A and B are shown apart, each in its own frame.
Chain A
Amino acid sequence: MDFIKILPVELSEFILQHLTTRELLNVTLVSKSWNKFISESSNLMKNIKFVFDLINDKFPLTSERKIFLIESPRIYQHLEISRVDTKYLKDIYDIYKLKRNQVKSLKLHHLNFISTKDLADFFGLFNLTVEKIIFGFINVKIIHELDCDEFKNLKSLYLISNESINCSSIFEKCKNLIELYIVGRSKEIKSIKIIVTLLQQNEKLKVLDLSLETGYQILENKEIISKIPFKLHTFRAKIWSKTYFRNFFLSQINSIQTLKLHRIDYLEDLQTIFTMQNLKSVDLGLVQELDLTNINLTLNTSIEHLEFFDMNCKIETIRLIITSAPNTKDMKIFCMTREIMQFVSLKMKSLKSLTMFIPMSYNMNDFPAPIDSVKSILKSTKIKYIFI
């Protein structure tokens, strides 16, 4: 009694959805009709990613295998391509030119000696269906003038450490982005133009991540900051300059729910952040030694997740931050003293989980608050240690 023959498609899918990806792949070997059923089911294929990786290649792309892949009934929704050259990218292009494409996410990384034209052609195969692109560590050798198509359904775009960020111009026509990540390292600051273009065109943007290592100039660029007219709910940045920080946050004060910063240098910045009454999750990064004489932070009852590094700051700063976010359920912090822990247990009545970062170099005997005493003070809190 073969349920795939007997039951409606939807119910056979329900059965197979209980399996893990590996188990599901094993099941494809049962028969041609089972393989076809799974291969063509978008509900089942949504958990499977197809990976072309030249280095870990178990299955090099010979002409026979190209034909096999073209004829295979699999309709992949997620493709990952890494460490390949232009020739290989063209082979993949040939395969997908002939297949029914339902690709929703594309991850391309560590590509060398590629030309922008080949990349643009490749993206041209998927530009109508793809919703998410991760584009990282790409070193484009030949830059062409591009006339690219629009990515109509693209919602998330990640540009990560691309050596020649000019290749990002492929994405210049994205107009429906919800999430934009420009992160990692980038040698060129010329990329400002593409960032400005993307910010200008994408008014529906909700998530903006500008965690660029060398992005100081980008973040200081007045033009970029003035191009954020919309209401973000998530913002991340690595380096920020005082000049634009406050204005930016004041414009986003009612919308931001998740905020992740590399460090906090100024008291005014800390004060502004605590006035964001919709903020649920905040990572302040490294909190510098601030002068806290006679200051208060606004009581922020919306914060549920709080994270900061307190290596340099005074105990008063920690107390102030903790007292101002009394509803925190989940906190991540650098190792704490016993005094701070007692303070936490007194002030943070909703704390469910606490993660502490402990440097490897610490001798546990010298640890400011021995682990056993942490547990006895924070009895109903789940505690996790991460050694760094």
Chain B
Amino acid sequence: MDIDRPSDPQVSVVSSDGTMFHTTLKSILLSGTIKDMIEHIGEGGVENMGAIPLQNVDSKTLEIVIKWIEHHKDNIQPTSEEIKDKTADFIDPWDENFLEMDLDKLYNLITAANYLNIPQLLWLSTRKIAMLIKNRTPQEIRSLFNIEDDWTPQEIEAVQKENQWCEEK
């Protein structure tokens, strides 16, 4: 019988650099990748399965991911299909605040959210970068991402003209 079984058992994950993190089953199931793994373990396996190794996520990033999934463990998550049509009508202020981090961390978070298959986190973190680009001039974008301006004046003028012929589909 499952009388003594806690409703949200503990699960451990190990980062690529060998750090172990403890979280709960409900939280970790937000990751499509881990959900698939756990479903394959089958009956009675969760408590005895040991720590899940995540070779593509380092400890700094995993800590951030766990903070996010624990905060959202009770929220209904959109599927990756639903995310495609999603518009940014409302962003949870907690998420907005959570994503205040440097570009390096954001890139790692995007890569981890993709690997772990957490559509909502991937959507939020990629959107965060897009927001940094919106309403900026090309020069501002270059400085932000440290990109070299490799255009000649003639070349950029030609692309500007090509763009004038383009319309929204």
How far in angstroms is the closest Cβ of chain A from B53? 22
Q: Which residues of B contact A48 (CB under 8 A)?
A: 166-169
Partner of A32 from the list B146, B150, B169 (CB cut-off 8 Å) is B150
Q: Say yes or no: A6 contacts B107, CB within 8 Å.
A: yes
**Cα–Cα distance between A80 and B156 once the two chains are bound (Å):** 24
Q: Flag if A49 contacts B169 (CB, 8 Å).
A: yes
B40 within 8 A of A: no
User: Which residue of the partner chain, among B103, B142, B165, B168, contacts A21 with CB atoms under 8 Å?
Assistant: B168
Is there an interface contact between A3 and B145, defined as CB atoms closer than 8 Å? yes
Question: CA–CA, A23 to B155, complex, Å?
Answer: 19
Interface residues of B in 135-169 (CB under 8 A from A): 135, 137-138, 141-142, 145-151, 155-156, 158-169
Which residues of the partner chain B approach A6 to less than 8 Å between Cβ atoms?
A: 107
Evaluate whether A7 and B148 lie within 8 angstroms (CB atoms) in the complex, with A18-B126, A72-B162 already known.
no
| Residue A248 at the chain B interface, CB threshold 8 Å | no
Tell me whether A46 is interfacial, beta carbon within 8 Å: yes
Asked whether any CB of chain B lies closer than 8 Å to the CB of A1, the reply is yes
Whether, in the assembled complex, B51 has its beta carbon less than 8 Å from a beta carbon of chain A, the answer is: no
A2 within 8 A of B: yes
Contact assessment for B168 and A47 in the assembled complex, using a CB-CB cutoff below 8 Å: yes
Q: How many residues of A contact B (CB 8 A)?
A: 47
Contacts of A35 in B (CB 8 A): 159
* A29 within 8 Å of B (CB atoms): yes
Residues of chain B within 8 A of A26, CB atoms compared: 137-138
One of A50-58, A238-246, A311-319 contacting the partner: A50-58
Instruction: Please judge, given known A-B contacts A2-B147, A7-B110, A58-B161, whether A21 and B166 are in contact too, CB under 8 Å.
Output: yes
Is A63's beta carbon under 8 Å from chain B? Answer: no
With A23-B134, A25-B163 already in contact, the answer to whether A1 and B169 are too (CB < 8 A) is no
Task: Find chain A residues with CB under 8 A from B103 CB.
Answer: 1, 3
- Give the complex CA separation of A2 and B160 in angstroms: 22
B residues sitting closer than 8 Å to A (CB atoms) are: 88, 103-104, 107, 110-111, 114, 122, 126-127, 129-131, 133-135, 137-138, 141-142, 145-151, 155-156, 158-169
